């Protein structure tokens, strides 16, 4: 198995992404929210890089069963139905709906995976399920969305925890890049707790805009057994 971890979208080599199964991580909060939405019955999630693209796609899909979702600088975009707080995505709101989502960091990461043969979304909330879904994968890239186009400690820890679970499933010795080694080292040194997340740059930024309550969901490890997987440009629920 060959496994590589990239700590931001800017680090990722497009040629490498085209050949590998890619797992996108944005703990605070895009992939956490995606897992929550699919676990609560959303039909599919369409990640978009820009607000304009999201509005255009929503119009083409039809507003009667499509919700426009997203944030900029953590705050719900004006005119959108939902922001990026996991608590907004209750079954009563999203069940049976298609979601078009645009966020500051997370959905941008998905925009560079369009040529990848398989794309999954991971957060602390579905770690075990994603690790199981990756069993037998020969070429793996874990792509951290990062925070403001830079290294994000929460994403890196999640990447390390995921990679550790994948490696613990056995198989041939893994060929790891330096990012993978670093993420594995973090996974042995840090725990995904609320105190940890509150101390990260992303956690502090969320607290500053009054959304610190979201962090408790973001570190609820294995809260769901859902694996969001890209199919026909939308993330759909697979797994348990």
Reported as a single tens digit per residue, the pLDDT across 178-234 is 999 999 999 999 999 999 999 999 999 999 999 999 999 999 999 999 999 999 999
pLDDT score at 101: 98
User: For the residues 75-103, what does the mean pLDDT come to?
Assistant: 97
**What domain range includes position 175?**
2-239
Left (φ > 0), alpha (ψ -120 to 50) or beta: where does 148 sit? left
Share of the chain above pLDDT 70, in %: 100
Over residues 128-139, the mean pLDDT reads: 96
8 A C-beta contact, residue 22 and residue 116: yes
pLDDT tens-digit map of 166-175: 999 987 789 9
Q: Answer whether 142's CB lies under 8 Å from 23's CB.
A: yes
- The answer to whether the predicted template modeling score (pTM) of the entire model surpasses 0.85 is yes
Reported as a single tens digit per residue, the pLDDT across 13-48 is 999 999 999 999 999 999 999 999 999 999 999 999
Residue 240: pLDDT over 60:
no
Residue for token pair 């075990």: 128
Check residue 148 and give its pLDDT: 81
The Cα–Cα gap between 53 and 150 comes to 24
Whether 20 and 119 have beta carbons less than 8 Å apart is answered as no
Give mean pLDDT, residues 39-58: 97
Give the pLDDT score at 173: 84
Nearest to 79 by CA among 58, 108, 110, 48: 58
Mean per-residue pLDDT, 71-96: 97
Q: Provide the CATH number for the domain around residue 108.
A: 3.90.1560.10
| Number of domains composing the chain | 1
pLDDT tens, position by position, 143-156: 999 988 899 999 99
């Amino acid at each position: 198995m060959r496994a590589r971890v990239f700590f931001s979208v800017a680090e990722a080599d497009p040629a490498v992404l085209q050949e590998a199964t890619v797992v996108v991580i944005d703990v605070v909060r895009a992939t956490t929210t995606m897992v929550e939405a699919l676990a609560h019955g959303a039909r599919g999630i369409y990640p978009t890089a820009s607000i304009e693209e999201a509005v255009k796609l929503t119009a083409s899909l039809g507003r009667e069963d499509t919700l426009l979702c997203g944030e900029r600088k953590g705050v719900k975009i004006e005119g959108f139905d939902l922001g990026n707080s996991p608590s907004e995505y209750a079954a009563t709101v999203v069940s049976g709906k298609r979601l078009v989502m645009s966020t500051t960091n997370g959905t941008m990461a998905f925009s560079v995976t369009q040529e990848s043969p398989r794309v999954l979304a991971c957060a602390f909330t579905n770690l075990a399920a994603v690790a199981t879904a990756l069993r037998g994968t020969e070429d793996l890239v874990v792509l951290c969305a990062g925070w403001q186009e830079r290294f994000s400690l929460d994403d890196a820890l999640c990447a390390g925890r995921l990679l550790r679970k994948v490696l613990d499933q056995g198989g041939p010795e893994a060929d790891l890049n330096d990012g993978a080694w670093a993420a594995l080292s973090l996974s042995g040194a840090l725990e995904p707790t609320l105190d940890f997340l509150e101390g990260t740059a992303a956690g502090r930024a969320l607290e500053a805009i009054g959304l610190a309550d979201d962090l408790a969901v973001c570190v609820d490890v294995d809260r769901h057994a859902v694996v969001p997987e890209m199919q026909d440009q939308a993330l759909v629920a697979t797994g348990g």
